[in-house]
Chains A and B, each alone.
Chain A
Amino acid sequence: MAAGVIRSLSQGLRRIAPFGSRLYSDEARTVTLIPGDGIGPEISAAVQEIFAAASAPIKWETSDVTAIKGPGGKYIIPPEAQESMNRNKIGLKGPLKTPVGKGHPSMNLLLRKTFQLYANVRPCKSIEGYKTPYTDVDLVTIRENTEGEYSGIEHMIVDGVVQSIKLITEPASRKVAEFAFDFARAQGRDTVTAVHKANIMRMSDGLFLRCCREVAEEYKDIKFEEMYLDTVCLNMVQDPTQFDVLVMPNLYGDILSDLCAGLIGGLGVTPSGNIGADGVAIFESVHGTAPDIAGKDLANPTALLLSAVMMLRHLGLHDHARRIETAAFETIKEGKALTGDLGGKAKCSDFTREVSQKVQEIE
């Protein structure tokens, strides 16, 4: 009973203040910045420079999340970093490397567990000036990030027979569906498509679909569609313009989000955000640490920059987001200051300077 009351209260509150937006605050927002490893520090510095040029109301609080051994002997994120994140709620993260060695878990997995990051959001928009065989791509993939095929529960039943368990639960499916519809509403998108394979996995994907359908009832202003995973893949490579927001369980999300990143040019230009419990959101670049070019001012900050733009949109700072994004796209379109991975010869600092100049010129 009480749970029902609280639930409808929180739903009501969500309608007044859409998830992720700050309507009335105009003072600078403090954001945790995690530069990361390899090219991480230089691209983070580039983003900070561009934000300063755009006069974005963001204060940066740098933090290091390199895992340390906690009191129980298990690896944890350093308490200062955790505390900074929990206080600021919003974070921007560069690429992290996972040291190879027994027992050290994947850093991304650790972050996900620590902050209960349940949804991974990747907007994929074609970049004018970076030619790929696909133009006019403008879609967002939202992937459930805690369960599904990645539960890690596997057994060897008898020698030579392995069983991997895919776990789908109602609370997690509902949570990610609600986030997807909230996101669509906040960002002004029309359609949410649930991607599934319920013809084969009747109960598990059936449950996921049912949750999506029930949540769709509460968001009558957003169109809801369902499509098989294979049909989505088939149609995606022929005509990606037919998709808007896609929501799906873990494995399909992993594959589809990388597929869509491939459509627009790869992980070097794709932004990404992770939404967690209690309003925590960590935006990140999904490429690697590129140790071979680290420290040489050759890195491309586009992915981290676009993730930072995503962060601004999440905070409701749409105007600043638009200006910085337009400046970045125009710089790439002009083609004069492109880094090596985009086919040019410019340095990271050249690219950063160009974008900073442009952003000051844009209204």
Chain B
Amino acid sequence: MAAVWQKCSVLCRSLPATAAAKAFSRSAAPCSLQVRDFHSGAGRCYSQQLATVGASSKYGGRYTVTMIPGDGIGPELMGHVKDIFRYAGVPVDFEEVQITSQEGDEEAIENAITAIKRNGVALKGGLKTLHLDPSFGVSRNVAVRVRLDLFANVLRCKTFPGLPSRHGDIDIVIIRENTEGEYTSLEHENVPGVVESYKIITARNSNRIARYAFEYAQRHGRKKVTAVHKANIMKMGDGLFLECCRKMSEEFPDIQYESMIIDNCSMQMVSRPQQFDVMVMPNLYGNIISNIGAGLVGGPGLVPGENIGEQYAVFETATRNTGKSIAGQNVANPTAMLLASALMLEHLGLDKYAGLIENAVYKALAENKIRTPDLGGQHSTVDMVQTIVKEVEAQADKM
């Protein structure tokens, strides 16, 4: 597996790539540090192990990936992903699993989780949580993440070439702890009218995410990691998280480490976002900063995100919106989902195809200037997809 991945990286480096795609390339030199893995004392560095996690379901040269279309704009975007994969000749087959907020049974979620475990990798749309319905259980998105222990949510907010933005050049990687914190759904009402909600922070998960963040920074040549917290108020909880990050920073002396309080961080994000490089934080702050970051570079339709665990990986849009209000109208921006599918291809080691799709997407935005309504334009989803397909077909012939 590692050998195949290595070969693809070499191939990728020798292919001509547009400047835009080069800037966005995720392939980096494998980390040379002989660092112990998280639990035992041997092996490659942790995030490198995770970089190809789940890429196991390969048969006859083709990968099988679980696809969960979800609600809202999910189904139509997944349809476009499949089309573009077909035109590009990507050796990936999708196993579709339908869970929507309409189906109330636990069995559907179990099937979805089993399918992801079987294939190891998934592409997912947003699942709406009916928070007004008391019989609706825990958020299904959270259930997927926690059950599969997808502890790291990684998204890269980088200014898109050719897209106007208020803030100039931003390139921030947000690494968010994805399984605990405020998202434990542990609540009770002991006395009527008084609700207690528990936020859980553990040393194990804090260490895990901190290690992931620093190794990510090292692997990708990033210079600084900022830990975001509110330890002045939540002295024990966020204090523990901060302490884990600080201790981890001592193992990576070549990476600059700083910490920042969440409210100051939000203020800095809107006034001077260029100061940030890699950011690591617990769950809720990650939710806030991810949305701020995505908003800064152009909105929910653009940024892809990945959820990485020790055994599985699930790819989706960064801000995880279901887009219910624009579903079925052919106005959704397919960029985020397409870039998420490209991230998935890189994860599987299919760097060539990933680059093909990414280049086509950036070209459609920067050169062809396709603008769906969320970017202030009048183009439809299909306009964007057709432009991408044309480019993919043209480039695929050269491969």
Contact = CB atoms under 8 A, between A and B. Distances in A.
Interface of A: 132-134, 149-150, 152, 154-156, 159-171, 197-204, 206-207, 229-231, 233-238, 251, 254-259, 261-263, 265-267
Nearest to A240: B270
Contacts of A237: 269-270, 292, 295-296
Contacts of A266: 267, 271
Interface in B234-259: 234-237, 239-240
Given A162-B240, A165-B196, A259-B267, A233 B185 contact: no
15 contacts: A134-B270, A162-B236, A162-B239, A163-B237, A165-B198, A166-B198, A168-B194, A170-B192, A201-B185, A202-B131, A204-B195, A254-B262, A262-B270, A263-B270, A266-B267
Given A160-B202, A162-B202, A234 B295 contact: yes
A193 to B, nearest CB: 16
Given A165-B198, A200-B182, 4 more contacts: A160-B204, A166-B197, A204-B187, A234-B299
Contacts of A201: 182, 185, 187, 197
Contact of B263 (A166, A168, A233, A254): A254
Contacts of B237: 154, 162-164
B194 A169 contact: yes
A256 to B, nearest CB: 8
Contacts of B288: 229-230, 233, 255
A150 B319 CA distance: 26
Interface string B281-295: 000100110111011
A231 to B, nearest CB: 7
A304 to B, nearest CB: 19
Interface of B: 129, 131, 139, 142, 166-167, 182-183, 185, 187-189, 192-204, 230, 233-237, 239-240, 262-264, 266-271, 284, 287-288, 290-292, 294-296, 299-300, 319, 321
B199 A255 contact: no
B291 A230 contact: yes
A320 to B, nearest CB: 30
A265 B270 CA distance: 10
Contacts of B239: 162
B234 A154 contact: yes
A323 B145 CA distance: 55
Contacts of B264: 258
B199 A166 contact: yes
B262 A238 contact: no
A159 B202 CA distance: 9
Contacts of A167: 194-197
B182 to A, nearest CB: 7
B295 A229 contact: no
A235 B266 CA distance: 14
B187 A262 contact: no
A161 B271 contact: no
A258 B266 contact: yes
B319 A258 contact: no
Contact of B139 (A161, A163, A165, A199): A199
A161 B328 CA distance: 45
A233 B234 contact: no
Q: What are the nearest 8 A-B pairs in CB distance?
A: A160-B203, A262-B267, A170-B193, A237-B295, A133-B166, A258-B263, A199-B129, A164-B237
B271 A262 contact: yes
Given A149-B233, A202-B131, A233-B292, A262 B269 contact: yes
Contacts of B240: 160, 162
B198 A203 contact: no
A140 to B, nearest CB: 17
B204 to A, nearest CB: 7
A133 B167 contact: yes
A266 B269 CA distance: 12
Contacts of A163: 198-200, 237
B108 to A, nearest CB: 18
A112 B270 CA distance: 29
Contacts of A165: 196-199
Contact of B189 (A161, A203, A251): A203
A257 B139 CA distance: 27
B166 A164 contact: no
Contact of B233 (A152, A159, A169): A152
Nearest to B262: A255
B167 to A, nearest CB: 6
Given A156-B236, A164-B199, A233-B292, A262 B266 contact: yes
* Residue from A162, A163, A229 with most neighbouring chain B CB atoms (10 Å): A162
Nearest to A151: B196
Nearest to B129: A199
A262 B189 CA distance: 36
* Residue from A133, A150, A202, A261 with most neighbouring chain B CB atoms (10 Å): A202
B270 A238 contact: no
Contact of A155 (B182, B236, B270): B236
Contacts of B189: 203, 207
Contacts of A166: 182, 196-199
* Residue from B195, B271, B284 with most neighbouring chain A CB atoms (10 Å): B195
